[in-house]
């Protein structure tokens, strides 16, 4: 018996799909880049779609979360529905924006190939390298497939605790295995092309042998990603004192992972540093040289979680804050990733707001850098009070249908207050002040694109701007460097880093309250 299928058309990209009856919209749309911040539990409005043709009956969750006007206009929550009719839906076609790495560094040559993987909560970046000369054969990036079960790490932890850990482990292991396979396939196709060219020109074809096999895979990521990939129970991360059960380096075999690479290859997930501070931050420490610096330095990584490291070759302190989601557009009314359609820059021009939209066209939402800019602009125009209260307004129109709401300003205050307080507290514990920091490295895509002036205006960065350095994808760079070194070297560096749980420090809450306020 033939299976019934329906036609699904997605606007404004005019993408047409044929979908089996009963397929969850969440599964279909996730593959097209639609995020599900609450993991598809019907708790937020992050997966809204507008029904242009066809019908989706209103669910109880939609009655609670959406206004009558929104429902009458055809807005629905994708996570609450399955395909049972031909449909045309309007949605934001968000393309993925992942920061790769093309840095050069000194290394000791090794035989074979290596794969470096930055396993992020939202995005994944992987590179295949020739370990003899450091050349990059290929790059693969992807949305983390686990995101369909929650956009942030605590949503993943919650899903895991309710019986979903095996599913999250399967998803990420299969996805990384697929990325490694794609990298190897691209390399082989490149070799075949080179061989054909060599034969035509009567040259010696490129050598293909054991030195062209994958010998080592190094993975870095936050503590939750570490536990979910390695099969370590995440329950300790769900309750006080939020310390990982097994923070050390984990080595797995390709056979255990089901990966199609030589059985002799070594797959390692580098060690975590404590709490929610994972090996991605360890990689960042090495990538920036913080562990070898004579001067006091700091590293900030503002992803779906916010991590901070302060120190030098004498001593290093690290911590994590529940701050990152706002900087990636999460929990913002019209928030989205830094992708096509996102307002990424906001400037004041003649007392008006001028907005830059990634890719041009009609704005679809507001990404992290645009959020910081918008609040900085509101402060400059006195539309936002230093307390965070909007002055004589409930919203700040930006461009097209996108506005900044009072609740969005509050989310940014919570995020920047936690990060700024963490930086200030760690620096104080080293007997120093923010003025003593000689370099502040901003890691990741957000750190690469944020306006440092806007970040300073809102009080996120209270150091001279010439000391603030966009550092790129330090996690991926560190993972690449680890391919050329023994794991014991990295374990030794990890042991030198002290983890500071902010919630246990009596001074944190007072500093946090101070840092939530915007500078006058």
Nearest Cα to Cα of residue 517 among 411, 373, 388, 382: 388
Nearest Cα to Cα of residue 114 among 506, 502, 485, 509: 485
Q: How many CA atoms lie less than 13 Å away from 233 in the CB half-sphere?
A: 5
Sorted by sequence, the CB contacts under 8 Å of residue 104 that are 6+ apart come out as 134
pTM: 0.78
Cα–Cα dist 147/21, whole Å: 23
366 Ramachandran zone, left/alpha/beta (phi>0; psi -120 to 50): beta
Residue 295: alpha-carbon gap to chain centroid: 29
Measure the CA dihedral 362/364/367/369, to 10°: 20
Sorted by sequence, the CB contacts under 8 Å of residue 229 that are 6+ apart come out as 119, 169, 172, 173, 176, 219, 221, 269
Helix (H) or strand (E) holding 15: strand 15-20
Q: Which tens digits make up the pLDDT trace of 27-60?
A: 888 766 566 767 777 877 778 888 999 999 999 9
What pLDDT score was predicted for residue 65? 87
Is omega for the bond preceding 494 within 30 degrees of 0, making it cis? no
What pLDDT score was predicted for residue 170? 95
Q: Using the CB atoms, write b or e for 287-299: b if 16+ within 10 Å.
A: bbebbebeebbbb
What pLDDT score was predicted for residue 49? 86
Name the packing angle between helices 508-516 and 406-429 (round to 10°): 140
Residues of the chain with pLDDT under 70: 1-2, 12-15, 31-35, 37, 92-100, 189-211, 304, 323-325, 329-330
C-alpha distances (whole Å) from 134 to each of 106, 128, 482 are 9, 10, 12
Q: Which tens digits make up the pLDDT trace of 407-461?
A: 999 999 999 999 999 999 999 999 999 999 999 999 877 777 788 999 999 999 9
Q: Are 120 and 278 spatial neighbours (Cβ–Cβ below 8 Å)?
A: no
Please spell the DSSP secondary structure of 350-397, one letter per residue: TTEEEEEETTSSS--EE-HHHHHHHHHHHHHTTSB-TTS-BSS-SEEE
Tokens of 82: 């399955």
What is the fold of 5-90? Ubiquitin-like (UB roll) (3.10.20)
Q: Sketch the domain layout of the chain as residue ranges.
A: 5-90, 113-281
Degrees (nearest 5) of the Cα angle 342, 414, 287? Answer: 70
> Options 3.30.420.480, 3.50.50.60, 3.40.50.300, 3.30.420.10; which CATH number does 113-281 get?
3.30.420.480
Q: Are 463 and 440 spatial neighbours (Cβ–Cβ below 8 Å)?
A: yes
Q: Given this chain, do its domains 5-90 and 113-281 carry the same CATH topology? A: no
C-alpha distances (whole Å) from 446 to each of 20, 94, 368, 371 are 38, 17, 7, 11
């Amino acid at each position: 018996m033939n299976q019934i299928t329906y036609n699904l058309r997605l606007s404004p990209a005019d993408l047409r799909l044929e979908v089996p009856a009963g397929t969850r919209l969440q599964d279909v749309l996730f593959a097209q880049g639609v995020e599900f911040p609450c993991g598809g539990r019907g708790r937020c409005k992050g997966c809204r779609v507008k029904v242009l043709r066809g019908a989706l009956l209103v669910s109880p969750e939609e009655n609670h979360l959406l206004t009558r006007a929104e429902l009458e206009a055809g807005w629905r929550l994708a996570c609450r529905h399955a395909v049972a009719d031909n449909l045309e839906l309007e949605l934001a076609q968000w393309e993925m924006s992942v920061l790769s790495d093309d840095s050069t560094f000194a290394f000791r040559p090794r035989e074979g190939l290596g794969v470096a993987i930055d396993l992020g909560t939202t995005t994944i970046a992987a590179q295949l390298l020739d370990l003899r000369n450091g050349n990059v054969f290929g790059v693969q990036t992807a949305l983390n497939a686990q995101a369909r079960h929650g956009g942030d790490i605590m949503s993943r932890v919650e899903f895991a605790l309710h019986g979903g850990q095996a599913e999250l482990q399967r998803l990420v292991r299969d996805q990384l295995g697929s990325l490694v396979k794609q990298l190897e396939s691209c390399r082989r196709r490149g070799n075949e092309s080179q061989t054909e060219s060599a034969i035509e020109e009567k040259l010696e074809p490129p050598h293909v042998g054991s030195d062209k096999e994958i010998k080592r895979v190094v993975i870095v990521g936050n503590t939750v990603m570490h536990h979910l990939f390695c099969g370590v129970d995440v329950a300790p991360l769900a309750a006080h004192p939020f310390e990982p059960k097994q923070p050390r380096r984990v080595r797995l075999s390709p056979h255990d992972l089901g990966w199609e690479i030589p059985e002799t290859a070594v797959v390692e997930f580098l060690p975590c540093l404590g709490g929610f501070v994972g090996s991605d931050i360890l990689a960042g420490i090495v990538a920036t040289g913080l562990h070898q610096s004579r001067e006091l330095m700091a590293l900030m990584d503002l992803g779906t979680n916010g991590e901070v490291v302060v120190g030098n070759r004498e001593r290093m302190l690290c911590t994590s804050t529940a701050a990152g989601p706002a900087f990636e557009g999460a929990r913002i009314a019209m928030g989205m990733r830094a992708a096509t359609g996102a307002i990424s820059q906001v400037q004041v021009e003649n007392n008006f707001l001028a907005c830059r939209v990634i890719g041009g066209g009609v704005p679809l939402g507001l990404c992290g850098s645009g959020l910081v800019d918008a609040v900085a602009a509101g402060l400059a125009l006195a539309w936002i009070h230093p307390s965070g209260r909007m002055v004589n307004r409930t919203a700040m129109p930006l461009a097209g249908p996108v506005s900044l709401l009072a609740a969005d300003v509050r989310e940014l205050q919570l995020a920047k207050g936690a990060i700024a307080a963490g930086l200030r507290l760690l620096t104080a514990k080293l007997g120093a002040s923010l003025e003593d920091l000689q370099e502040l490295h901003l890691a990741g895509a957000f750190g690469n694109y944020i306006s440092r002036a806007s970040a300073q205006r809102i009080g996120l960065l209270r150091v001279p701007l010439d000391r603030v350095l966009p550092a790129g994808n330090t996690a991926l760079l560190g993972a690449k460097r680890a391919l050329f070194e023994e794991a014991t070297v990295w374990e030794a560096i990890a042991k030198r880093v002290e983890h500071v749980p902010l919630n246990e420090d009596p001074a944190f809450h007072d500093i946090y309250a101070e840092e939530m306020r915007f500078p006058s």
